[in-house]
Amino acid sequence: MNGLESVPEGWGGWELPAPIVVQVGTCLARYDASTAWVGMIGSTTHALAAFLPEEGAAEVYADGPDFLMGGLVPPPNGEARAGWAKLEAGEDLGPQDRAVQLLSAAHAAQTCARAVEIMYASAGSAALSLDGPLQRLLRDVHAAKQHALVSFGMYETAGGMLFAARA
């Protein structure tokens, strides 16, 4: 994954459908989860460039599309599914849809972290081995949930977006 799979065609990318990009990332993760993580961050963030104003996209891609961009597209689950479908259809997301996407991502990250914490606690002293898989899972999931777009602070941001959308 080099990011070009998600760059809009008009800016020199391949603009592959989101489900294909996710499948590529999933396959890569079977062999190297860290590489897949970085690849998916770069790839999905480029996909967001399709929603930039023309001037913003021109600035971002002034030197071409071959660079790593960081960010996140939340996974399609629950209410976020409707927003994901809109994205795939090329429709604009309204403030409420954007907030739901952000809330879904934050909730998924926090829930995954809680699941790993439960596994870790259930393993007893076996989980304490520094080279054990549960130690790595615990560290990795806690590192992931610190990302600005899935941290607890995102609940406040998304709540403000929902409040503003109803005002």
Instruction: Say which residues have a Cβ less than 8 Å from residue 65's Cβ, sequence separation at least 6.
Output: 3, 4, 7, 11, 12, 13, 46
User: What pLDDT, on a 0 to 100 scale, did the predictor assign at position 57?
Assistant: 79
CATH of 1-73, one of 3.40.50.970, 1.20.1440.230, 1.10.540.10, 3.10.580.10: 1.10.540.10
Round the average pLDDT of the chain to a whole number and report it.
79
Residue 50 pLDDT exceeds 70 = no
Q: CB–CB of 67/2 below 8 Å?
A: no
Q: CB–CB of 81/63 below 8 Å?
A: no
Closest C-alpha to 72, from 101, 52, 29: 101
pLDDT tier at 16 (50, 70, 90 boundaries)?
A: confident
Structure confidence by residue, pLDDT tens digits, 94-116: 888 888 878 888 888 888 888 88
pTM of the predicted protein model: 0.51
Q: Where are the chain's structural domains?
A: 1-73, 74-167
Residue 56 pLDDT exceeds 80 = no
Residue 62 pLDDT exceeds 60 = yes
User: What pLDDT, on a 0 to 100 scale, did the predictor assign at position 75?
Assistant: 45
Which helix (H) or strand (E) segment holds residue 102: the answer is: helix 95-122
User: What pLDDT, on a 0 to 100 scale, did the predictor assign at position 18?
Assistant: 76
CA dihedral 107, 144, 149, 4 (to 10 degrees): -120
